[in-house]
Chain A
């Protein structure tokens, strides 16, 4: 998160903090019901570009069948979707398209970066490929692999479900958005330079996804807030 978005959100945050104690019970009930519903009917927005898209298709096809976890409806319109699955390499020519699709998705929304190329640029450290989509959109789950197996994608979706469990419906902190950042890169130029250094771009994933801790995340439960 950049400094700009934090200062914009701080006003709303103090207001929420005063309201939380009074409605604590209702808020918890809301969390329980709404999060349960959100968790059980995630609508993916498949942003498939390359090899990983074929594995994403395999995850949706007969053998793996991700509809079992509530991802029945592949929403090819960003307006009716809440998980963007970026599967494959994303070039600079494609970057504004991806950012626009992300901006068009309504809150709450999550993003999965599937595969090495989407996460870091992979083996393609070339003039045309973005070195990780997290420079442009915020990413919730990274799936390693080239391409990841369909099980990997399914696990990422389960991790998103775990993440939703811990979210609070009435607390907007986790979902705040700065309208001025629409269509802009997610990171500052210095941060983009830093993570795009050759061979350095695979070691700073926690920091990029906005986490305090720099230790690796092994299971959904290990995620520190």
Chain B
């Protein structure tokens, strides 16, 4: 199958965009010829194309003088067909609640750009991923290695358009190469020397005694890493001097595979990324494509989507409480929370037919209307679930062991948390009241009455409290949503997007034509791009979608909150005890399917 390419310009250039936003106008006035053009995307947000030579200056100015203190995403973009490689920065100003996207175009051979590591530590892993997938070299990055693919991967840069979906080498050769890698090399001390930011491995001689730091490897197959994560820790006694997470053991190639699937075929892929809260991913992706299409979904669909979202937030927080408690030594909450998870799984099964891989949304609506009696079952769950929540809280909140193991452990302040890229409940536990449902509402979240819980200390205990309170707030939203489910169709009445009902397909020529076109050609999305995000249970889940007018995406970028949260782990654990590493790692709520994608 040939790789997808784009011809011509894929966005409208609008001159009036400059006058609309004072901060953009200011940047243009200040940097003049460094700004090559200004465009608007499908959602009407400004996209600033900058000279790659001066991108760092522009970023620094935006952060320091315009209040763009949150770096949400750095990713590459290859449109193919002779277009230059692009690096995309997605910024957010917590001061003005405004997004801004920066793009720098680079040549395919030897693309180089100044690293933003000095501005945001959050750019560390994002730049490594762009290097891994597109080969963009970020000058000044302290540790630019491959992150998802093996470090000695020879086949090239997977997300470039000239890279085949199934890899350059044959399957037999890929298997041979994978197994010929010497395990001892991968686990040796030398590896740490190249990955190191913290310099010397040998500690200072103390009173004539020469001591040496110890290297401890945890994972990739370890019950406390919540998946296939590998942590290499350098220990001075029991204190962690340095912690290096190694990820990519579950890298599946979702973003590459999405470019070879039609827009609706991507939905089954999305719930395999975050299998702890699959419906949130389904719905977030569908919202992104709908924003590209510029269609408004029906009022009933909005409310049903809110119900599904909040159910899945509870589902994900429940497994978080259960597994974190197991990691710290309490078995009972795991059994309690899994009992409740089974009830939510039953609701999933009644609606979607699957317990976990729901694939419940479609572009323009849902896979079907909810079955009769389903909303009553949800109401029954909402009414009885607080009992279990109370029981679990009674087991943990005042528990001396729990308090002792979590309070003051892995603490991070608000400013640092923003800078290193923490998001979701972790960021809110540090005291930053950033919740996409409040700051950039979608699905009419502004009409629901709910609070955003905020912590003071940013430690493991606060993250626990924030999540417990979020479950209660989700129940509040669920109650309000259940009271207002309107009647009417669940899917938009648009034959370009949604299959017509069977009676029309069989009975009318129009219905038959639109059915044929949708099935044979697929859903056509007009050329454009959008960066849309929702509040997933783990933080801000962003979708950067680029379309060229064809039936398949040109680029599907999934900015997973777990990826950002995972990259904060070294900042949280360095200086802590090794036993606390397990508690801190559990507390940031990761799902490896989303980190590795």
Q: Does A184 contact B (CB under 8 A)?
A: yes
Q: A69 CA to B256 CA in the complex, in Å?
A: 42
Q: A63 CA to B550 CA in the complex, in Å?
A: 47
Q: Does B155 contact A (CB under 8 A)?
A: yes
B541 CB to closest chain A CB (Å) equals: 17
Interface string of A23-64 (1 = CB under 8 A from B): 000000000000000000000001111110111011001110
Query: What B residues does A93 contact at CB under 8 A?
Result: 149-150, 178, 248-249, 251
Query: What A residues does B179 contact at CB under 8 A?
Result: 95-96, 99, 136, 183-185
Q: For B183, give its contact among A58, A88, A96, A126 (CB under 8 Å).
A: A96
B582 CB to closest chain A CB (Å) equals: 13
> How many chain-A residues does the 8 Å CB contact rule pick out?
51
Residues of B144-182 whose CB lies within 8 A of A: 149-150, 155, 158, 163-168, 170-179, 181
- The answer to whether A126 touches B257 (Cβ under 8 A) is yes
* Interface SS of A by simple majority: loop
Among residues of B, the one whose C-beta sits closest to the C-beta of A127 is: B167
- The answer to whether B592 touches A192 (Cβ under 8 A) is no
- The answer to whether A127 touches B165 (Cβ under 8 A) is yes
Listed residue (B150, B178, B335, B355) with the most chain A CB atoms within 10 angstroms of its CB? B178
A103 CB to closest chain B CB (Å) equals: 10
Query: What A residues does B257 contact at CB under 8 A?
Result: 123-124, 126
- The answer to whether B252 touches A126 (Cβ under 8 A) is yes
- The answer to whether B165 touches A95 (Cβ under 8 A) is no
A219 CB to closest chain B CB (Å) equals: 25
- The answer to whether B183 touches A100 (Cβ under 8 A) is yes
Among residues of B, the one whose C-beta sits closest to the C-beta of A198 is: B166
Residues of B462-494 whose CB lies within 8 A of A: none
Q: A225 CA to B274 CA in the complex, in Å?
A: 41
- The answer to whether A51 touches B253 (Cβ under 8 A) is no
Among residues of A, the one whose C-beta sits closest to the C-beta of B168 is: A127
Query: What B residues does A196 contact at CB under 8 A?
Result: 171-172
Q: Does A97 contact B (CB under 8 A)?
A: yes
Query: What A residues does B341 contact at CB under 8 A?
Result: 58
Query: What A residues does B220 contact at CB under 8 A?
Result: 94, 97
Interface string of A169-208 (1 = CB under 8 A from B): 0000000000000011100011011001010000000000
Q: Does A161 contact B (CB under 8 A)?
A: no
Q: Does B304 contact A (CB under 8 A)?
A: no
Q: A201 CA to B357 CA in the complex, in Å?
A: 22
Interface string of B354-375 (1 = CB under 8 A from A): 0111000000000000000000
Indicate whether A63 sits within 8 Å of B339 (C-beta atoms), given known contacts A94-B250, A126-B165.
yes
Listed residue (B164, B252, B592, B593) with the most chain A CB atoms within 10 angstroms of its CB? B252
- The answer to whether A147 touches B175 (Cβ under 8 A) is no
Q: Does A164 contact B (CB under 8 A)?
A: no
Query: What A residues does B170 contact at CB under 8 A?
Result: 189, 193
Query: What A residues does B228 contact at CB under 8 A?
Result: 49, 94, 97
- The answer to whether A94 touches B253 (Cβ under 8 A) is no
Q: A53 CA to B221 CA in the complex, in Å?
A: 12
B382 CB to closest chain A CB (Å) equals: 21
Indicate whether A50 sits within 8 Å of B272 (C-beta atoms), given known contacts A62-B339, A147-B357.
yes
Among residues of A, the one whose C-beta sits closest to the C-beta of B342 is: A63
Q: Does A162 contact B (CB under 8 A)?
A: no
Interface string of B117-149 (1 = CB under 8 A from A): 000000000000000000000000000000001
Among residues of A, the one whose C-beta sits closest to the C-beta of B167 is: A127
Q: A129 CA to B269 CA in the complex, in Å?
A: 14
Q: A199 CA to B173 CA in the complex, in Å?
A: 19
Q: A112 CA to B149 CA in the complex, in Å?
A: 26
Interface string of A114-131 (1 = CB under 8 A from B): 000000000111111111
Q: A74 CA to B334 CA in the complex, in Å?
A: 15
Q: Does A113 contact B (CB under 8 A)?
A: no
Query: What A residues does B245 contact at CB under 8 A?
Result: none
Residues of B257-304 whose CB lies within 8 A of A: 257, 268-269, 272, 275-276
Query: What B residues does A136 contact at CB under 8 A?
Result: 175, 179
Indicate whether A50 sits within 8 Å of B593 (C-beta atoms), given known contacts A92-B174, A128-B253, A131-B171.
yes
Interface string of B231-265 (1 = CB under 8 A from A): 00000000000000000111111001100000000
Query: What B residues does A76 contact at CB under 8 A?
Result: 222-223
Indicate whether A189 sits within 8 Å of B176 (C-beta atoms), given known contacts A89-B252, A94-B220, A94-B249.
yes
Q: A136 CA to B178 CA in the complex, in Å?
A: 10
Query: What A residues does B268 contact at CB under 8 A?
Result: 123
Query: What A residues does B511 contact at CB under 8 A?
Result: none
Query: What B residues does A163 contact at CB under 8 A?
Result: none
Q: Does B319 contact A (CB under 8 A)?
A: yes
Residues of B196-234 whose CB lies within 8 A of A: 220-223, 227-228
- The answer to whether B172 touches A189 (Cβ under 8 A) is yes
Q: A125 CA to B158 CA in the complex, in Å?
A: 14
Query: What B residues does A1 contact at CB under 8 A?
Result: none
Q: For A49, give its contact among B186, B250, B253 (CB under 8 Å).
A: B250
Query: What B residues does A99 contact at CB under 8 A?
Result: 179
A198 CB to closest chain B CB (Å) equals: 8
Q: Does B338 contact A (CB under 8 A)?
A: yes
Q: Does A101 contact B (CB under 8 A)?
A: yes
Q: A136 CA to B172 CA in the complex, in Å?
A: 11
Q: A99 CA to B341 CA in the complex, in Å?
A: 33
- The answer to whether B248 touches A127 (Cβ under 8 A) is no
Query: What B residues does A125 contact at CB under 8 A?
Result: 165-166
Query: What A residues does B222 contact at CB under 8 A?
Result: 76
Q: A62 CA to B357 CA in the complex, in Å?
A: 21
B136 CB to closest chain A CB (Å) equals: 19
Among residues of B, the one whose C-beta sits closest to the C-beta of A188 is: B172
Q: Does A149 contact B (CB under 8 A)?
A: yes
- The answer to whether B250 touches A89 (Cβ under 8 A) is yes
Q: A55 CA to B248 CA in the complex, in Å?
A: 22
Interface string of A135-155 (1 = CB under 8 A from B): 110000000001101000000
- The answer to whether A54 touches B275 (Cβ under 8 A) is yes
Q: A97 CA to B319 CA in the complex, in Å?
A: 26
Q: Which 3 pairs across A and B sit closest by C-beta, in order of nearness?
A: A126-B253, A127-B167, A189-B172
B contact set with A: CB distance below 8 Å:
149-150, 155, 158, 163-168, 170-179, 181, 183, 186, 220-223, 227-228, 248-253, 256-257, 268-269, 272, 275-276, 319, 334-335, 338-339, 341-342, 345, 355-357, 592-593, 596
With A57-B338, A89-B252, A93-B251 already in contact, 14 other A-B pairs whose C-beta atoms are closer than 8 Å: A49-B250, A51-B356, A51-B593, A54-B276, A62-B338, A62-B339, A92-B177, A129-B252, A135-B171, A135-B175, A136-B175, A192-B171, A196-B171, A198-B166
29 contacts between A and B (CB under 8 A): A49-B228, A54-B319, A58-B338, A58-B341, A61-B339, A74-B223, A89-B250, A89-B252, A91-B248, A93-B149, A93-B248, A95-B178, A95-B179, A96-B178, A96-B179, A96-B181, A97-B183, A101-B221, A126-B167, A126-B257, A127-B163, A127-B164, A147-B357, A183-B179, A185-B179, A189-B176, A192-B172, A192-B175, A193-B172
